[in-house]
Structure 1
């Protein structure tokens, strides 16, 4: 049978003789013999146990757990699985801290950023619920529109990117802004009036409305690319064609021209709201149509 001295074990494992002696004194590496001079010796099994112990400790497994593995009270696979899950949790925490620190480095707001980053899903949603309670409260809105708006949830990951966390902070500041709330409230009140007048406002998302709006944005983009001024005769012709199509999409021939609709419902911060939601939730980016909207509003006047 092969026997190894502590010095030989140290050379084969890279551990110090002091560490090996500590493990031996703790009963983790049993002594199998003594030299003529009384020095401890260990066998092949002791070497294997020492190598396993070294690996477990390098992976961050605490000594009592490593001792249970050596005693076969728990398997290496079970320890690895449990430890991997613990590391995953630590990584999520570290990534969140990193994102918070990067956001703080950019805007300097330590407490607010840290607080908002740590909110639970329910607490995050409560911020949006409070916003909608104020801007929709007491109004007779189209149920499909109202429910669609309120059903969208903020799904900030446990380990958000810096961009996602920045979008979340900006969203909170936006929905808490009293001027923005007043603007959305005015939109909601106008929504109620137009619904009473017979306009189809089932969320601004009926197929006809979506198609008409996308068509208008496309015409505006083409005009911008061609250098057509919004105050020109050509722009007025484009606006007239767009308005006719828009009125048909709203379901009422006496509905507002698109330019007036944009004045009433075109607060660019509303589009920013959806851009931020998409970024937080990891959705495909929402295009910024603010330039096209401004051209349409000016052309329609």
Structure 2
């Protein structure tokens, strides 16, 4: 052989690579590993180039790359870099799916087997699929925007995509489930597109000078943020002093009594661009994405609107006997 390495038999290739003889013969029969030549007895022989080709085939197959793709790599139609990049992305998706499945199994193992839990887990396992991921993507891409303000609102929504982490907590799983239920509602889709970007705080108070309106809204925001931070529900009795303090500021600014008409006018003004369901959606997104949110930066209007409209025994102040002025319009 003039000093050249002797050709390898199939058995020799198997010994050098650890690949079964039967598998090597299959690769040879399908054309992935054509023999370098045959000896006089008709047995296949392979050179070192074929040995390297076999090792390449083995690596790609160990990475679960299909035979058609392997053939394209060997024939030069695809580079190893292209194949590795594509399969790395696919493998990453598989890993994320497996981690989510692991979280669901751990959640199931840590809870009981009540009918409620079985129902919850059934819904969670469904939402963990690619179909649920596509649901969010389709929801965001399908939002209609027919005005500049609406287009800005939709753009803001698309920068804050709810993305369930690889190892979600129970709270994140529950929030993700609620998001998928919300965005499946056509009415909510339209509502979210309209209300995603509310007007500036001071603009919400029609008929009040901007400087005075800004002061009122700043006070209201701080008062509500403190209540929310303390866990005060807007319908509870603990919310009464908070609401009364905010209303007192408005009565002084508007020079009119604290009565049902004023409170309803305030609720209408504050509700513009601040639907409670929209605020709920944003809170769910923050939960799913694990964002740290400062209470003072959250929309406070839905809490205050609910508190203003909650029926309570109300004691009228000393100005209640005076004829009140019409609220600004």
2:290 is the counterpart of 1:275? no
2:263 alignment partner, one of 245, 260, 264:
260
> 1:66: Cα distance to partner?
1.6
| C-alpha distance in 1 between matches for 2:45 and 2:10 | 7
TM-score norm. by structure 1 comes to 0.56
Superposed CA RMSD: 5.7
> 1:54: Cα distance to partner?
0.8
1:52 alignment counterpart = 56
What whole-Å deviation, never above 9, does each CA across 1:85-130 have from its counterpart, x for those lacking one?
Answer: 5555x6499579969x9999517569x968775447464576788x
What whole-Å deviation, never above 9, does each CA across 1:190-223 have from its counterpart, x for those lacking one?
Answer: xx9963xx1479xxxx753552123213564799
2:223 alignment counterpart = 216
2:15 alignment counterpart = 11
2:79 is the counterpart of 1:65? no
| C-alpha distance in 2 between matches for 1:208 and 1:270 | 25
- The answer to whether the 8 Å contact 1:155/1:280 transfers is no
| C-alpha distance in 1 between matches for 2:162 and 2:70 | 30
> Could you say if the C-alpha distance between residues 240 and 75 of structure 1 is closer, same or farther in structure 2, counting changes exceeding 3 Å?
closer
TM-score norm. by structure 2 comes to 0.52
| C-alpha distance in 1 between matches for 2:267 and 2:243 | 14
> 1:254: Cα distance to partner?
4.1
Following superposition, which runs of at least 4 residues in structure 1 exceed 6 angstroms of deviation?
Answer: 101-104, 112-116, 146-151, 221-225, 255-259, 294-300
Gaps of 5+ in 2: 106-116, 166-172, 196-202, 316-329
**SS of the residue 2:157 aligns to:** coil
2:175 is the counterpart of 1:167? no
> 1:56: Cα distance to partner?
1.1
Gaps of 5+ in 1: 130-142, 185-191
> 1:55: Cα distance to partner?
0.8
Q: Between Structure 1 and Structure 2, which shows a larger proportion of helix residues?
A: 1
2:114 is the counterpart of 1:106? no
